[in-house]
Chain A
Amino acid sequence: MSQDVHNLAGAYALDALDEVERLLFERHLASCAACRAEVDEFRLTASRLGAAVAVVPPPVMRDRVLTAVDTTRQRPPLTARTVPARRLPRIAAPLAAAAVAAVLTFVAASLLDAEGDEPRPSDVLAEVLAEPEARTLALDTTGEFVGSVVTAPTAQRAVLTLSGLQERPGEVYVIWTEREGELIREGELCAQADGGATTLVLDAADTVSSVAVTREPPGDGTAPAGPIVAQVALQ
């Protein structure tokens, strides 16, 4: 990243970066104490702007929220500042010869977690973006969330980023790739607590011709069991 990366602290604290820049800036944050301190102060400042526009909420909200709280479990505290990227076992897809070599890395960086020292999700992204012909392709979505694929013809990997996924009871988002005519189930993604970005690294990206996201009940079917809610052609 260029010299003026520190300049992004303002836009970052105001949630005014797009997803890719946000991930890259979080990577920078992990190694820049001055920017972390500045972001903390900017967030405090921005929240004053927020508090200044308080209005009386609809009274019915209170009952709804308190009722929901009664049946909602709390998250465990974060035990460590760093949440390591998890490697999930590849889901078996016997028909997919081309995808045998593909390894799926699941890296979920929530807003809260990513404020810590977690540079990994964006490392891959930075790697891909450093390629001369890197491009960002926006997913065509039904509007439930936004997403993009960052890819480069010379890069081994591509990075899928989804943001603003809604939590839906009994349903997950399943990522599919089309590789040499076969539809491959790449894995499931869930909404992040804070609506933050969920990132999926796709290996052997040169074999991927398109990426699609369906919404369906959890499972391990080799064919989509729910509607396609987003897709993009890579080639």
Chain B
Amino acid sequence: MPEPDPRPRRARRPGLRPVANEQPSVEDALERVARGDRAAYASLYDRCAGQVYGLVRRVLRDPAQSEEVAQEVLLEVWRSAPRFDRGRGSATSWILTLAHRRAVDRVRSEQASRDREDVVGRRDDATPGFDVVAEEVEVRLEHQQVRSALDSLTDLQREALQLAYYGGHTYREVAELLGAPLGTVKTRLRDGLIRLRDELGVAT
């Protein structure tokens, strides 16, 4: 039996692990990693491997390839930690930017060896399936927030953003897939991100 939670703030489902409050920030962990601290790396791995793997897998779909690329990214986090610049954004954002870039590179390399039209069709389902095996409370909350922020966008903004980010498509491919003019897609990606940024309260 799960223990009753005296705090009435959020429903907790059985099997979910509580989030520890005393964890050092991801930035602090990354800065220790930057000084060659392998123990700090192991704890950073535990904090961010799920995000890296989840994002790479969302873009690549294929589990084996995703595993390979996620490993590359996580090793790169270790190698490049000394180059993290706290002034440019959060550590999580730095790590996920790296992960997204790698995943997209892999998609486009693959694509180069195939018929372009085939491939555009292959990843046409870029709806961020909410069928993920998210076990952490943190992830579920993030998930809900992002979903409701996405719901506040126009259909075109949302579809364009999802195809670009989760689908790994260029905005030209997005325009083709949505049958929308290039200029419109460019603009929707930007104003969609502005809306999302404001909805999520993102600030540097």
Q: Report A's interface with B, CB cutoff 8 A.
A: 4, 7-11, 13-18, 37, 40-58, 61-62, 64-66, 68-70, 72-78, 111-112, 115, 138-139, 141-147, 163-164, 193-196
B53 to A61, Cβ gap below 8 A?
A: yes
Which residue from B71, B113, B171, B196 sits with its C-beta under 8 Å from A143?
Answer: B113
A18 to B172, Cβ gap below 8 A?
A: yes
Q: Add 15 more A-B contacts to A54-B134, A57-B50 (CB < 8 A).
A: A7-B183, A10-B191, A43-B97, A44-B89, A44-B90, A47-B92, A50-B96, A52-B142, A57-B49, A61-B67, A66-B42, A68-B75, A74-B34, A112-B80, A143-B114
Complex: chain B residue closest to A60, CB-CB? B67
B49 to A18, Cβ gap below 8 A?
A: no
Could you tell me how many residues of chain B have their Cβ less than 8 Å away from some Cβ of chain A?
Answer: 87
Complex: chain A residue closest to B98, CB-CB? A194
Chain B positions within 8 Å of A55 at CB level: 50, 53-54, 57, 132-134
A61 to B71, Cβ gap below 8 A?
A: yes
Chain A positions within 8 Å of B42 at CB level: 66
B139 beta carbon closer than 8 Å to chain A: yes
Give Cα A65 to B48, complex, Å: 13
B189 to A164, Cβ gap below 8 A?
A: no
B186 to A163, Cβ gap below 8 A?
A: no
B161 to A65, Cβ gap below 8 A?
A: no
Q: Report B's interface with A, CB cutoff 8 A.
A: 34, 36, 38, 41-42, 45-46, 49-55, 57-58, 67, 70-71, 74-76, 78-83, 88-90, 92-93, 96-102, 104-106, 108-114, 128, 132-136, 139, 142-143, 145-147, 149, 161, 164-166, 168-172, 174, 183, 186-187, 189-193, 196-197, 200, 202-204
